[in-house]
Amino acid sequence: MLSDRLIRMVESHADELTRGTVKSLRDSPHASSYQALTDDDIYERVYRVYHDLGRWLAAKTDDPLKNWHHQLGKKRFHQGIPLCELVWALTLTKHFAFDYIRLYGFADSALELHQQIELHHLLDHFFDRAVFYTIEGYEHAATVDQRHAAVAGHS
């Protein structure tokens, strides 16, 4: 994969990227419910995306991505985070990575520019699936919650 160097760059700067993403999320008027979460809770989830990017992208199946993002969706549902804000947080994470690669990827040749474009495509695909699986997990938690409420209402 041509973009391996850029993936390693993102992974090695995961802490810096995560701190920037957490700050952007905290400052965003589109994610006000995230103010109720601790920095550690937000940091841990964002850091895993950046630090394990190569592993996520190299996985032969979607199972690890699906399971991890299902859990994220369920967790955020139970924390009372609106779905639109959860999707916004994932979008911020994606765009922060894109901006970082664009600024520090140093595309000084056609090959390096091709690497950036390839990684942009891979990240786009990764985050599209992450958003889908997160929403799926969130909706599953909401359905289970509704069923429990209905059962409790009939008791």
pLDDT band of residue 107 (cuts 50, 70, 90) is low
Check residue 2 and give its pLDDT.
Answer: 47
Quote the DSSP letter at residue 61.
S
* Secondary structure of residue 2 in the 3-state scheme: coil
Would you tell me which CATH number, out of the four given (3.90.1150.10, 3.10.440.10, 3.40.50.150, 1.10.490.10), belongs to the domain 4-154? 1.10.490.10
pLDDT per residue as tens digits for the range 35-79: 999 999 999 999 999 999 888 888 889 999 999 999 999 999 999
CB-side exposure of 4: number of CA atoms within 13 Å? Answer: 3
CB neighbour class for 29 (10 Å; exposed up to 12, middle 13-18, buried from 19): exposed
| Secondary structure element (H or E) that encloses residue 145, with its range | helix 110-154
pLDDT band at residue 1 under the 50/70/90 scheme:
low
pLDDT in tens, 123-148: 999 999 999 999 999 999 999 988 88
* Residues present in the chain in total: 155
Can you give the residue ranges of every domain in the chain? 4-154
Kindly indicate the confidence band of residue 12, based on its pLDDT and cuts at 50, 70 and 90. very high
pTM of the model: 0.87
Spatial contact of 90 and 127, defined as CB atoms under 8 Å apart: yes
The encoded tokens of residue 100 equal: 């970082």
